[in-house]
Amino acid sequence: MYVADQLDFESRPKIELHVHLEGSIAAETAIELARRHGRDPKEVLPLIDGGYPGRFTDFQQFIDIYLAVSGQIGDPADLRIISEAFAHAQAKQNIIYTETTFTAITHVRAGMDPDEMWAAVREGLDAGGGNVGLIVDTPRDNGVAAANRTVEMAEGADAPIVGLGLSGIEGSVPEGEFRVLREAADRLHLGLVAHAGETGGPERVWAAIDDLGADRIGHGVASALDESLMKRLVQDAIPVEVCPSSNVSLGIFESLDDHPFPKLWRAGVNVTVNSDDPPFFSTTLASELGHAARIAELTEDDLLELQRRAARAAFVPPDERMRLEERVTL
């Protein structure tokens, strides 16, 4: 039975694997951070009437605004506030486990001490009361040197790091050049996720799998254009972190009804549903699950299966995955 309009998505225990820490900053918070450091928000934040656009003109506009917002994080105290607010918001939504992507290299390059940075994030997440693991990512367009530095920081971090990630402009640097991430993930017993097939084509997903060796694919919606790629994803049960509203807000698809989530789901691809950057796209995980249920006509069992998949794909020890799976099934 189709249940999108019948379930209380907010109260159900949930797991989220693809949400950015810096992307959790509300426009109002970004304005407050700018003022805290003596900056004029109108000069440093390209907002629209004090907020984020309902729909971005293109991916570059999103990147420009996202980086401007991230740039208002001026010291560890800012990071602590943001981390605590994020963990609290996730817990309030009954998201029992979250993996949040954090671009540490951005803040260190801006002058933040790595040890103070990790302490601020750790303390904030703990104070927020959420069960949160960090995926420390590096943008492709920052180059391989930034990836190496990210690995160095992760190795010595006193923080709840569960994975490494590759993000940034698809196609700017070949995925295979970032094998240091795969090697480090294996050495440190971490997972590895790559943003791929969001703005790029299926070839970027192939490269993330075969050249980089990613355990999970962030977004991956271009996979729906390649039947052989979908078969590979199904064959290897590679988790694909789908974020419907993000893709529509960035103009990758005209509307939710045009989104390929139903095609991926029906093909048997190991999809999960996520919010990406909630305030930027005016969404929540509960809303994204509702959208997925509507466009793919999911049943209650289907929705439970989505959460089981998220539990099984989490970068945590096997016994913890089993506990998470049991909790979302209740």
Q: Flag whether pLDDT at 5 surpasses 60.
A: no
Picking from 328, 329, 312, 273, the residue whose alpha carbon sits closest to that of residue 14 is 328
Mean of pLDDT values over 309-324: 98
pLDDT tens by residue, 190-230: 999 999 999 999 999 999 999 999 999 999 999 999 999 99
Q: Which pLDDT band, with edges at 50, 70 and 90, does 305 fall under? A: very high
Q: Which pLDDT band, with edges at 50, 70 and 90, does 1 fall under? A: very low
SS3 326: helix
Q: Flag whether pLDDT at 241 surpasses 60.
A: yes
Instruction: Confirm whether 3 is domain-assigned.
Output: no
Instruction: Confirm whether 170 is domain-assigned.
Output: yes
Counting Cβ atoms within 10 Å, is residue 61 exposed (0-12), middle (13-18) or buried (19+)? middle
Active site residues: 198
Q: Compute and round to an integer the Cα radius of gyration of the chain.
A: 18
Phi-psi region of 23 (alpha: psi -120 to 50; beta: other; left: phi over 0): alpha
User: 10 Å Cβ neighbour count for 186?
Assistant: 11
pLDDT of residue 297: 97
CATH of the domain at 35: 3.20.20.140
pLDDT tens by residue, 117-162: 999 999 999 999 989 999 999 999 999 999 999 999 999 899 999 9
288 touches 310 (CB < 8 A): no
pLDDT of residue 130: 82
Instruction: Confirm whether 278 is domain-assigned.
Output: yes
Instruction: Confirm whether 8 is domain-assigned.
Output: no
Instruction: Confirm whether 314 is domain-assigned.
Output: yes
Better pLDDT: 330 or 39: 39
pLDDT of residue 6: 52
Q: What percent of the chain is modeled with pLDDT above 90?
A: 95
Q: Which of 7-16, 21-30, 105-114, 173-182 has the lowest mean pLDDT?
A: 7-16
Instruction: Confirm whether 110 is domain-assigned.
Output: yes
Domain extent at residue 189: 14-329
Q: Flag whether pLDDT at 329 surpasses 90.
A: no
Instruction: Confirm whether 1 is domain-assigned.
Output: no
pLDDT tens by residue, 56-110: 999 999 999 999 999 999 999 999 999 999 999 999 999 999 999 999 999 999 9
Q: Kindly report the backbone phi and psi dihedral angles of residue 12, in degrees, each rounded to the nearest multiple of 5, phi listed first.
A: -70, 140
Q: H/E element holding 76? A: helix 76-92
Determine the residue type at 5: D
Domain total for the chain?
1
Instruction: Confirm whether 116 is domain-assigned.
Output: yes
Using CA atoms, how far apart are residues 299 and 322, in angstroms rounded to an integer?
Answer: 23
Residue-averaged pLDDT of the chain: 96
pTM tops 0.75? yes
